[in-house]
Structure 1
Amino acid sequence: MFFFMAKKDRDYFLSFIAIVFLILHLHVSANEEADRIISLPGQPKVAFQQFSGYVTVNEVAGRALFYWLTEAVQQPSSKPLVVWLNGGPGCSSVAYGASEEIGPFRISKTTSGLYLNKFSWNKLANLLFLETPAGVGFSYSNRSSDLFDTGDIRTAKDSLQFLIRWLDRFPRYKNREVYLTGESYAGHYVPQLARQIVNYNANTNHKINFKGFMVGNAVTDNYYDNLGTVNYWWSHAMISDKTYKQLMSTCDFQRQKESNECESLYYYAMDQEFGNIDQYNIYAPPCNNSDGSSATRHNMRLPHRPHSAVQLYSGYDPCTEKYAEIYYNRPDVQKALHANISGHIPYKWTACSETLNRNWNDTDSSILPIYRELIAAGLRIWVFSGDVDAVVPVTATRYSLAQLKLDTTISWYPWYVKKQVGGWTEVYKGLTFATVRGAGHEVPVFKPRAAFQLFSSFLQGKPLPKS
């Protein structure tokens, strides 16, 4: 029809189309611009762009999830989009992933400013930190009951809605390769969201260019995680032979909630036999309070383990969670982040929500069936494990992954970073497993250079270096 128009009419039509596209572009730009971070309080000058704000995922309940995008340092338009999720359940990706692990900034001890992270993952990708579910960090719901009845199912569905709507807000990312990453209870979030994306793509013409995911020290399977954890405690001399035998004979590791007798044994082991250690890195010093007591919380619930302060090796500060809670409660910081702008969060910002953690409503007893689905879908899947973590230890992950019975394509070997063994790895048909030597629960905190190498190899889809 267009070609049969008179030239004058064609010109008018083309002008009209151009105006429509301009209006749409301006609208999109306005949406992006509203979320642009000019500068955070105390932030060093950087060349990359940052955006943060809210995406409503359920209008009826008024659920909105908070995000923080730190674009790649160089050539962001050619780099993939990597979504990071922290676990808990109930812990903030801003507090941990962005501020302690893979983000571009660290919070100074005085909490008056920020300094640069030498091994930030935004040197390789555009990083999108998502606080999920509603009630975590700056994310909120106007329906207060949402904080008392959330769980795996709603978290996965809301996270998918977030990603769809966020890509509508940032259309320049729509054709970009997308990867998911995370740790701990994100061992549930990440594969569950991955499955949501795969199912969504199967039923739409507006597909997300989803390529794969990587999870670390990941909660995976109730039975094998719990069995592997108790075995780790015993093999690392954290508990006595007597307690080990009692745990093995008393506890039903298949159950979501253990018996009172089993719980009592856990309490005894942690209170009487562990000593004042950090379970997230059994060889690191704890963050001590002014009275000399440890700030580390004990972890009673399996497999849901509250995420406590992570301790660091000599040369790092073991109390960074405290600094995050001071920094992100500052009104000037919240204003710069466009966070809590309408007063939707009447409570103090915390790194982890104990309310969500205590009231987690539904959880998959095993993520292994999802792994089988996603391996069949041809996704790139990496699982890594810091080997001095006693919370979701390497033995737990190895026991769980062994149940997949995958064929080995590259046998077990040491991988290297800066001429040192970074860990060990084995490549299976459909999945790569890697350990990180000397790293605790939050691998990038304890071994940032090794974690950077791990991430680089994952993005390239190449085995970790043998030399």
Structure 2
Amino acid sequence: MKIFTPILALIFVVGLANAAFADDLVTEMPDCPKFDFDMYSGYLDVNANKSLHYVLVESLGDPANDPILMWFNGGPGCSSMLGFMQENGPCIIDDGENFVKENPFPWNEKANVLYLEAPAGVGYSFARNKEDMESNDLQSSHENLQALKQFYKKFPEYQENDLFISGESYAGIYVPNLAYRIHQHNTMSKINKRTPINLKGILVGNGATKWEYDTTPSYLEMAYNHQLMDTELHNTFVENGCEWYFRDVLPRKANEACEKAKKTFDENTKRINWYDIYRKVYDDGGINKERVGKTIIDGEERYYPRGYKMTDYTPWLEDIYGESAPILGDYVSDYLNRPDVRDAFHIKKEIHTYKACAGGDLTYHLQKEGSHWIYHILKSNGIRILKFSGDTDGAVPTYGSQLWIRDLGWDVVKDWHAWLVDDQVAGYQKEYDGLTFATVHGVGHMAPQWKRKEVTQLINDFIHGE
């Protein structure tokens, strides 16, 4: 009997694991072609009051051995289902379209992609008490680590797979902070003999990192270099030492000349898509300012905001755009509020409606430290780093990313050079001792959506070391 006891115990544990995620299996995704891989959707409890929604899309290649690639959208307060539905998931909805179609370049080509909606109150994730709808950079990183631990409990077969953490925009804060939490966890694992997390690298696209440079400070320089202002206006900003920061996370100095110049600039650029200065502005021309959708949930009529204005995703733009703010993701919200879609993704009744961005439902406190300080720690622990940047983004411009990377003081291993897709320049790369920086040519903030083939190749090459 003693000989068979470990085997019986193993069977019992495997049985529990299978039971843990069997109810999360997505058997079909409405309006999406039948897929040749397994997909799961459910909840990961981070504490007694908060549950974060996840989607796992298993690899089309070798799911047993391919890496886990974790994805976060930004905000703070915007849903990672935006990435799933518009950027890198198996089926997608493009800007201005009202139908679902197959993604020819999904990120699960060679990876098991794990989407996590964080913090609680974002998308399908929820907190059971209103007072728990509050977070900051450190708290969210702690809860994201707890969610990852719960994921491995549900899917223990992935515990040994390489882990890469990715995201865009404000995920430039989320991703390194979670990596730092994992570093702390792994350090303690050596002491308490617990299983370490097999983190191998991070990937951040157009990610906020250092507030001295990111968002408005770099946008003004980027706008000048793309002829969105003349030399006289630019000189006014420079000569007066004008400063603006993301939601005033840092103290700033301004004067009357600065404010007047900024007002002029904002007026001249209010019909420019800040996420991609050459891209169409999607709005409704004021026809339906309410932009409210209606659905039936648990037998009751429920209303929700359709899509998200840039002022939801980047609230500091409200003074720039006013009611003409570009609106993206309309049909994404419609789709994710459909009862059949909610059923397919096993969405809990606590979620009345899906919102692309949490808005007033979540109070998020920014922290001035950003994430720049974490990069030295990651490098010293052998964590590989890819920073990619769509080069026509005004929200987190390439110019600012180059400035904070310069501040790291790392040696250049390979200087600025083109990288190609289909014999065309897809962007440029610069390799440092500890980090690869890559631009994505001719595209803005949502590079994984607007240059799918190029970015998917970039991601695959990085995580597989090709």
| Structure 1: gaps spanning 5 or more residues | 1-11, 312-318, 463-467
2:261 and 2:88 map into 1 onto residues whose CA distance is: 32
Please state if 1:460 is matched with 2:460: no
Which residue number in structure 2 is paired with residue 277 of structure 1?
272
Change (3 A) 1:398 1:112: closer
Matched residue SS, 2:188 = coil
Which residue number in structure 2 is paired with residue 232 of structure 1?
222
**1:274 alignment partner AA:** T
Please state if 1:268 is matched with 2:274: no
The one of 406, 415, 426 aligned to 2:419? 415
CA positional deviation for 1:34: 1.1
Please state if 1:154 is matched with 2:139: yes
CA positional deviation for 1:352: 0.9
Which residue number in structure 1 is paired with residue 335 of structure 2?
327
Matched residue SS, 1:27 = helix
1:197 and 1:310 map into 2 onto residues whose CA distance is: 38
- What number of residue pairs does the alignment pair up? 433
Which residue number in structure 2 is paired with residue 314 of structure 1?
none
CA positional deviation for 1:112: 7.9
Change (3 A) 1:251 1:131: same
CA positional deviation for 1:114: 3.0
- Check conservation: 1:422, 1:436, Cα contact below 8 A: yes
Which residue number in structure 1 is paired with residue 350 of structure 2?
344
For residues 149-173 of structure 1, the C-alpha deviation after alignment (integer angstroms, 9 at most, x for no partner) is: 3110111000000101110110000
1:350 and 1:19 map into 2 onto residues whose CA distance is: 46
Change (3 A) 1:33 1:270: farther
Change (3 A) 1:197 1:14: same
Which residue number in structure 2 is paired with residue 361 of structure 1?
365
Please give the TM-score of this superposition, normalised by the length of structure 2.
Answer: 0.86
2:278 and 2:180 map into 1 onto residues whose CA distance is: 36
CA positional deviation for 1:371: 0.8
Which residue number in structure 1 is paired with residue 395 of structure 2?
391
**2:228 alignment partner AA:** M
Which residue number in structure 2 is paired with residue 256 of structure 1?
249
**2:57 alignment partner AA:** T
- Check conservation: 1:66, 1:131, Cα contact below 8 A: yes
Change (3 A) 1:110 1:43: farther
Identity of aligned residues (%): 31
1:309 and 1:146 map into 2 onto residues whose CA distance is: 33
**1:381 alignment partner AA:** I
Matched residue SS, 1:202 = helix
- Check conservation: 1:190, 1:215, Cα contact below 8 A: yes
Change (3 A) 1:377 1:441: same
CA positional deviation for 1:141: 0.6
CA positional deviation for 1:26: 1.3
**2:282 alignment partner AA:** C
Aligned counterparts, 1:172-321, within 5 A:
172-204=157-189, 205-225=194-214, 226-248=216-238, 249=240, 251-253=242-244, 256=249, 258=252, 264=259, 268-269=263-264, 271-289=266-284, 291=286, 297=310, 299=314, 301=316, 321=329
Change (3 A) 1:100 1:108: closer
RMSD, aligned CA: 2.8
For residues 329-370 of structure 1, the C-alpha deviation after alignment (integer angstroms, 9 at most, x for no partner) is: 11111111011x2x2224x3111111267x321324332211
Change (3 A) 1:264 1:352: farther
Matched residue SS, 1:14 = coil
Which residue number in structure 1 is paired with residue 120 of structure 2?
134
Change (3 A) 1:192 1:266: farther
Which residue number in structure 1 is paired with residue 434 of structure 2?
430
- Check conservation: 2:171, 2:204, Cα contact below 8 A: yes
- Check conservation: 1:385, 1:435, Cα contact below 8 A: yes
- Check conservation: 2:309, 2:328, Cα contact below 8 A: no
For residues 39-76 of structure 1, the C-alpha deviation after alignment (integer angstroms, 9 at most, x for no partner) is: 122221111000010010011xx101000001011321
**2:67 alignment partner AA:** P
CA positional deviation for 1:228: 2.0
**1:162 alignment partner AA:** A
2:128 and 2:187 map into 1 onto residues whose CA distance is: 32
CA positional deviation for 1:389: 0.6
| Structure 2: gaps spanning 5 or more residues | 290-307
Change (3 A) 1:199 1:276: same
